[in-house]
Structure 1
Amino acid sequence: MPLPRPLRLSLSAWPLPVQWLALLILAGAAGQSLKHFEVPAGQFLGPMLVAIGFGVSGARIRVPRQAFRLGQGAVGVLAAHSMTLAVLVSMAQSWHVMLFATLLTVCLSALVGLVLVRLGGLSPSTAAWGTAPGAASAMVSMADDFGADARVVATMQYVRVVCVVMIGALASHWIGAPTGGNATHGSDASLQGFTLLNLGLTLGTLVFGVLLGSRVPAGALLVPLLVGGALQISGLLHITLPGWLLALAYGAIGCYVGLRFDRPTVRYVWGRLPAMIGGAVLLIALCALSAWLLAHWLDKDFLSVYLATSPGGLDSMTIIAVDTHADVGLVLAMQTLRLFAVIVSGAFFARLIIKWAS
């Protein structure tokens, strides 16, 4: 496939303050517009799509990683608002099913990796790391250590994240799930004992959790979730997150992911993009089929199990789960379990795919 022609609209010559101003205005407008039309996770999806457009149009700005981590921490604290003793007991009773679902998703990703090697023209090592269902940044780092093409792996991971978010939002809308869960959480926290002290303690928990989780995979989301959940269950903290703070958090995560799709990277992987998108959609379809079977087994609603088994994007799936009133505890538990499973088993499955492909 020939390389794409240079885009007529180039933002590279724009001054950086102008690029930032345009991104903030357009991303905010897109997020609020999708929220107005009740698109699931619209405040995350809108900024991400705008940022992708900016990235491939030559924008030279990048969201600071610390802002991205603070956004993840806000999502973690928001999810902690849903954690109760009943949710924890339900998760403990279903541990064997969650473990089975995790292993099934990891095996399906290895199968898709083999398909991409045979039909997509990707090298076995690159396909193995690129199809790993989760922990995108960790997979890119580990892939580079194992001699895979880190640029292709990074693009595969983030292409899959975009596909997962888009299809997840469409599936939620098609199923008819109610939206506005993030607003509900924010209003609940505001109406039930909102004080500056509670807001300050919540923000302190968020920042402390992000700092504490700096060396843990997905720690910026998981540690604030664990700390905030423990403090709330013990009665020491009433989590308070205003709607404007959640909008900023969603926007930071969406823009961080979207701006990763810069023009040089897209040009480099242009010929492989159809195979990447096809592989991502195939993996999502296989996971959706397994979710349909597991939903009957667990006697859970399909949307919750589908979000729990979606291949990658712990923060984005949590946002959609909260926004659509899905079972946040189940989604968090299975996504977190798979995150660690992918990190632990990544090298093993990479060697397995390389062996089978040869």
Structure 2
Amino acid sequence: MTLKLILRWAGLLAATVAVTIPLNLLGVPSAALFAALVVGIVLALLTLGPAGVPRKLGTAAQGVLGVYIGTMVQQDALAELGGDWPIVIGMAVATLLLSIGAGVLLGLRRDVSPLTGSLALVAGGASGLVAIARELGGDDRVVAVVQYLRVALVTASMPVVVTLVYHADRTQNVREVSQHAAAPWYLSLAMMLGLVLVGGTAARLIRLPGAGLLGPLALTVALEVSGLSFGLSVPVLLVQAGYMLIGWQAGLAFTRASLRSVGRLLPAAIALIVVLGVVTAGLGLVLARVTHLTPLEGYLATSPGGVYAVLATAVETGSNVTFIIAAQVVRILLMLFAAPLLARAVVWAGRRLGRQSRAITDASREPIRVAD
């Protein structure tokens, strides 16, 4: 590695950390990933950044993120759903189909493929989808921008909706959420390493799409549900490093032409995100009616993003936090596991209809291994 390349990586890291700190203070979700995306874009346009993220580092970041998302699953939280499993899964499936439909509509534009549009508007697991978008054959730059636009719009609108539409009472007693003792850092690190290696290898052997992310995620969820996770937690520094690598992977691939193309599709993306938010709010009313939740709890349980804002709002309003967390986890897991499979279906349908998958620029196009 030359001195010039070392300096470029050092500058990229320093600038990303400098942007991440204030974003964290402002409560921006996945701040390190968003900062890495923005900094990567700026340095790429100025030709001051590295050429890209090495493939092995990108795969390692996927594995860390897979384990981290898996630790969101709590055995007692899922048990809270009780006999309401069918309706909760039904709402998650409806959200998935709606978001895929919106993505296909976005893919009608000449500058984005149906596959990329579908991945960009899947309502859940933004960081995970950005991590595997390129592997699935999509344009990870478009997916990154639109996914974080979705998270930002949902998160920013939530306080307004909760106050003006649901008239939330923030003076209610806050329900306690059970906490579990975390394992020592060295045990968590060893378990995480094993989950990444074993999960990723096994997923590749069975040709699971997005193996680097979904293999470790599936194993971690299995441990959590079985109660054998022993308090597994992913060190914060590793999570932040994973976020940065994923953000850089998308950001460093930008060119001036691709940035202009992404800018042109933003009005359509915003309109579709707003429609998706309104329709899922309607699904929340249905969920509330069937499960005897309040309309506010139904809205929070079916929100198509902003899971950290959802949790904070649920706690502040004295809502059924455990049920809402469980419903949100079901949504995120369904989106992450179903999206790669649906990617195959979208590519297959595109071939049958004679439509080719188009990337904004040739730089982001890689072989669609999982679609063959």
TM-score normalised by length of structure 2: 0.68
1:220 aligns with 2:212: yes
For residues 32-65 of structure 1, the C-alpha deviation after alignment (integer angstroms, 9 at most, x for no partner) is 2211222222122112211111111113431122
For residues 83-132 of structure 1, the C-alpha deviation after alignment (integer angstroms, 9 at most, x for no partner) is 23455564842333333332222223233333x3xxxxx27xx5434423
1:64 aligns with 2:54: yes
1:230 aligns with 2:230: no
Q: Output the amino acid matched with 1:15.
A: K
Cα distance in structure 1, aligned partners of 2:276 and 2:353 = 21
Q: 1:225 to 1:141 in 2, by over 3 A?
A: closer
Q: 1:342 to 1:318 in 2, by over 3 A?
A: farther
Partner SS state of residue 131, structure 1: helix
Shift of 1:224: 1.0
Find the counterpart in structure 2 of residue 133 from structure 1.
119
Q: Output the amino acid matched with 2:238.
A: L
Residues 152-301 of structure 1: pairs in structure 2 closer than 5 A: 154=139, 158-176=141-159, 192-194=182-184, 196-214=186-204, 215-238=207-230, 239-261=232-254, 263=255, 266-267=256-257, 269=258, 272-299=261-288, 300-301=297-298
Q: 1:50 to 1:139 in 2, by over 3 A?
A: closer
Q: Output the amino acid matched with 1:307.
A: P
Asked if the contact 1:68–1:253 (Cα under 8 Å) also holds between the matched residues in 2, the reply is yes
Cα distance in structure 2, aligned partners of 1:140 and 1:48 = 15
Cα distance in structure 1, aligned partners of 2:132 and 2:33 = 22
Find the counterpart in structure 2 of residue 183 from structure 1.
none
Q: Output the amino acid matched with 2:158.
A: I
Cα distance in structure 1, aligned partners of 2:132 and 2:24 = 31
Find the counterpart in structure 2 of residue 8 from structure 1.
none
Give the unaligned 5+ runs of structure 1: 1-12, 117-121, 144-152, 178-187, 309-316
For residues 193-230 of structure 1, the C-alpha deviation after alignment (integer angstroms, 9 at most, x for no partner) is 42523431222212322333344222222211111121
1:113 aligns with 2:107: yes
For residues 301-321 of structure 1, the C-alpha deviation after alignment (integer angstroms, 9 at most, x for no partner) is 54553436xxxxxxxx88988
Residues 26-41 of structure 1: pairs in structure 2 closer than 5 A: 26-41=15-30
For residues 49-82 of structure 1, the C-alpha deviation after alignment (integer angstroms, 9 at most, x for no partner) is 1111111111343112222222222222122222
Q: 1:335 to 1:227 in 2, by over 3 A?
A: closer
1:96 aligns with 2:85: no
Find the counterpart in structure 2 of residue 333 from structure 1.
334
Q: Output the amino acid matched with 2:332.
A: V
Cα distance in structure 2, aligned partners of 1:196 and 1:139 = 32
Cα distance in structure 1, aligned partners of 2:348 and 2:43 = 34
Q: 1:160 to 1:322 in 2, by over 3 A?
A: farther
Query: Identity over aligned residues, as a percent?
Result: 21
Q: Output the amino acid matched with 1:223.
A: G
Q: 1:47 to 1:128 in 2, by over 3 A?
A: closer
Asked if the contact 2:115–2:346 (Cα under 8 Å) also holds between the matched residues in 1, the reply is no
Asked if the contact 1:113–1:127 (Cα under 8 Å) also holds between the matched residues in 2, the reply is yes
Partner SS state of residue 16, structure 2: helix
TM-score normalised by length of structure 1: 0.70
Cα distance in structure 2, aligned partners of 1:130 and 1:195 = 38
Q: Output the amino acid matched with 2:107.
A: G
Q: 1:342 to 1:302 in 2, by over 3 A?
A: farther
Asked if the contact 2:114–2:346 (Cα under 8 Å) also holds between the matched residues in 1, the reply is no
Give the unaligned 5+ runs of structure 2: 121-128, 163-178, 289-296, 315-324, 356-372
Find the counterpart in structure 1 of residue 175 from structure 2.
none
Pairwise CA RMSD: 3.6
Partner SS state of residue 15, structure 1: helix
Cα distance in structure 1, aligned partners of 2:279 and 2:209 = 26
Find the counterpart in structure 1 of residue 304 from structure 2.
307
Q: Output the amino acid matched with 2:223.
A: L
Asked if the contact 1:47–1:255 (Cα under 8 Å) also holds between the matched residues in 2, the reply is yes
Asked if the contact 1:288–1:306 (Cα under 8 Å) also holds between the matched residues in 2, the reply is yes
